[in-house]
Amino acid sequence: MVHYFSILENNNQLKLPLLQTISIALCTYNGSQFLREQLQSLANQTLLPTEVIITDDCSSDDTLKIIQEFSNQLNIKAFKNETSLKVTKNFERAISLCTSDIILMCDQDDLWHSDKLAKIHSFFQENPDKLAVFCDAELVNEKGESLNNNFWSVVRFHKLQRQQWENGKSVEILLAGNRSAGCMMGFRKELTKKIIPFPTHIPEMIHDNWITIIAAMLDAMGLIEERLISYRQHSFQQIGTRPKEAGKAISLKDRFSRPRAEKLAPFLTKRDYFCTLKDALAERIDESNHNFKKIDQIINFYDVRSTLSPFHLARLFPVLKLLLSGDYHLYKDQEASWKAPFVAAIGDLLE
């Protein structure tokens, strides 16, 4: 909620928003190699955080000692977990301990640009209808040197996808894959009632993806088209950016000789995933929300494809229906050619 104070200017009363408080939820685990640089980047912010909540997941190195070094520069409240919670549940605990209007998640190994907090704060001041926002990031190596690449490029969140996002297609884009990392987000405290506890029964859905999909379902996820952090890539990180593994190439001969169950298995997996996701979202968001129709549509797409008759002629109507409705086009890979939807439809008819 935005709080206001009044001033008089030329005998006219104006309402201006008060500064909103900011919490940083920082999770640590044996982070001594990079933590000092990260904490220094927080201390160098042009707009300092109200509090830095640190939950340490049973570190055995100098992590807690390094945290203590910054106690005079930042309002740090540190907590050590009695048992290891791992990444998702550790962030859940850190977020639950935050008390400010705006909450940002922070990894122990990145570097925040000095204007990150100021720009995220300004975004929320200027966009009272948004509950969350995420930015881009510069990719750097272990030494903090630029890799001449950015996060949005790696996750294929290009200009076209950003335009589609701004035009109301955020849910569709996220159903095709996550486009943010937790360290690039900020959200209002009231969103915690929707996102916590983080689901742990959907292996593909990590906490940052969960936050973005919840906020997008509420039509309340914004973008800042700037790189506000340096996202460090190194061999010890648990998530980071990794290239997509190339799938097994399937020859034309294989397509017509492989067992039908092998062809259908990926469609069944996707259908079941989106069914599970819908059930999880329905526990947090009213099912009258119009965006559930988008999840129903993708469930139907994969359900039809995974249950096509073994008799070729019987497949004609359901395949043509999906093709004419535009579903093959909507759910093709974003970088696939214009021919891809027709190739997929023909494959469903003939394989």
Q: What is the CATH number of the domain that holds 80?
A: 3.90.550.10
What is the extent of the structural domain holding 205?
Answer: 21-232
Beta bridge partners of 122: none
Q: Domain ends where: 199, 232, 265?
A: 232
Q: What is the pLDDT of residue 324?
A: 97
Q: Note whether 181 and 278 are same-domain residues.
A: no
Q: Angle CA(183)–CA(203)–CA(31) in degrees, nearest 5? A: 40
Question: How far is the C-alpha of 98 from the C-alpha of 23, rounded, in Å?
Answer: 6
Q: What is the pLDDT of residue 241?
A: 52
205, 208, 214, 218: CA torsion to nearest 10:
-150
Per-residue pLDDT tens for 23-71? 999 999 999 999 999 999 999 999 999 999 999 999 999 999 999 999 9
Q: What is the pLDDT of residue 3?
A: 35
For residues 345 and 318, the answer to whether their CB atoms sit within 8 Å is: no
Per-residue pLDDT tens for 105-127? 999 999 999 999 999 999 999 99
Q: Domain ends where: 232, 263, 287?
A: 232
Question: How far is the C-alpha of 31 from the C-alpha of 61, rounded, in Å?
Answer: 8
Q: Note whether 205 and 122 are same-domain residues.
A: yes
Q: What is the pLDDT of residue 228?
A: 98
Q: Note whether 202 and 260 are same-domain residues.
A: no
- Measured between its terminal Cα atoms, the distance across the chain in Å is 55
Q: What is the pLDDT of residue 338?
A: 94
Q: Note whether 168 and 83 are same-domain residues.
A: yes
Helix (H, G, I), strand (E, B) or coil at 246: coil
Q: Note whether 207 and 66 are same-domain residues.
A: yes
Residue 115 lies in a domain: yes
Question: How far is the C-alpha of 27 from the C-alpha of 93, rounded, in Å?
Answer: 9
Q: Note whether 163 and 270 are same-domain residues.
A: no
Residue 202 lies in a domain: yes
Q: Note whether 315 and 217 are same-domain residues.
A: no
Residue 6 lies in a domain: no
Low-confidence residues of the chain, pLDDT below 70?
1-18, 235-257
Which one-letter DSSP state was computed for residue 72?
A: T
Residue 245 lies in a domain: no
Residue 179 lies in a domain: yes
pTM of the predicted model as reported, rounded to 2 decimal places: 0.89
Residue 243 lies in a domain: no
Q: What is the pLDDT of residue 57?
A: 97
CA neighbor of 184 nearest in space, from 98, 116, 88: 116
Question: How far is the C-alpha of 121 from the C-alpha of 278, rounded, in Å?
Answer: 32
Block residue for tokens 């000789």: 257
Q: How many structural domains compose the chain? A: 2
Half-sphere exposure of residue 346: CA atoms within 13 angstroms, side-chain side: 7
Residue 172 lies in a domain: yes
Q: Note whether 278 and 217 are same-domain residues.
A: no
Q: Note whether 290 and 169 are same-domain residues.
A: no
The strand pair at 51-56 and 76-80 is best described as parallel
